[in-house]
Structure 1
Amino acid sequence: AILQHVRRGQILSIAKLGDSEAEAIELIAEEGSEIVKKPLNKIRFPKRSTLGAIVRNGTMLLPKDVNAINPGESVIVFTLPDAIEKVQALFSKKR
C-alpha cells in the first residue's frame, strides 16, 4: 500500500480507487521540483501513472487546460503502487 512508502514532497491526501490497486494522490508541487514551470507536454510521468487535475486558485483544471504547473499548486495524480516513488520524486525539490 502507498502508506508503506517513504514520503517525499507534500502529499495532501491519498484515496484508493475501488477494489483496484490504483490510487489517487493529491500533492503540492514544490518550488525547484522537476514538475514546476515546465510545459506539461514535456513532463514524462512514470509508467502506470497519469496527471488527473491541477487545482489553481481554488479551481480544478484538467491538464488540457493548463500549460504548466506553478509552485504551490495542488495536483491530482492517478497511479499504481509501483510508480508512487517516481511520482513523488517529480514533485519534490531537487536535492
Structure 2
Amino acid sequence: TVLEDGQAEVVELTASPKCRAVNKPLHRMNLPRGSLLAAIVHGDDVIIPRGKDIVHPGDRVILMTTKDARATVERLFRPRGE
C-alpha cells in the first residue's frame, strides 16, 4: 500500500530462513531509519512487536517504510547473498 504520493509504504514480506532478520530480537535487527516493523504474523497469531520479540523463519512481517528505506528493508528479509 502506497501512502502520501509514494513517500511511504506498507510492505508485507515473508522472512526467509536464511535472512539476516530471523532469530534475532527486534532491537538487534538493525532496521534502517525510516522503517518500522508494525506486525509479525506467526501462524494464526498476529503480534505487535516490542524490542524482545523475534521473527522466525516463514513468519510474515508487516512494515511501514519510506521509499528510501524500502530496498534495505527487503534485503533484511531476503536470503543472504540475493
Q: Taking structure 1 as the reference length, what is the TM-score of the superposition?
A: 0.77
Q: Check 1:56–1:37 CA distance in 2 against 1; reply closer, same or farther (3 A cut).
A: same
Which of these residues, 6, 10, 21, is aligned with residue 7 of structure 2? 21
Partner of 2:57: 71
RMSD, matched Cα: 1.7
Matched, 1:88 2:74: yes
Aligned length: 81
Q: Check 1:41–1:66 CA distance in 2 against 1; reply closer, same or farther (3 A cut).
A: closer
Alpha-carbon distance, 1:22 to partner: 1.3
Partner of 2:18: 32
Q: Check 1:59–1:65 CA distance in 2 against 1; reply closer, same or farther (3 A cut).
A: farther
Alignment partners' CA distance in 1, 2:51 and 2:19: 21
The unaligned stretches of length 5 or more in structure 1 are: 1-14
Partner of 1:8: none
Moved over 6 A (4+): none
Q: Taking structure 2 as the reference length, what is the TM-score of the superposition?
A: 0.88
Alpha-carbon distance, 1:41 to partner: 1.2
SS of 1:51's equivalent in the other structure is strand
SS of 2:68's equivalent in the other structure is helix
Q: Check 1:75–1:66 CA distance in 2 against 1; reply closer, same or farther (3 A cut).
A: farther
Q: Check 1:29–1:88 CA distance in 2 against 1; reply closer, same or farther (3 A cut).
A: same
Partner of 2:33: 47
Letter in 1 for 2:27: N
The unaligned stretches of length 5 or more in structure 2 are: none
Question: Kindly, what percent of the aligned residue pairs are identical?
Answer: 35
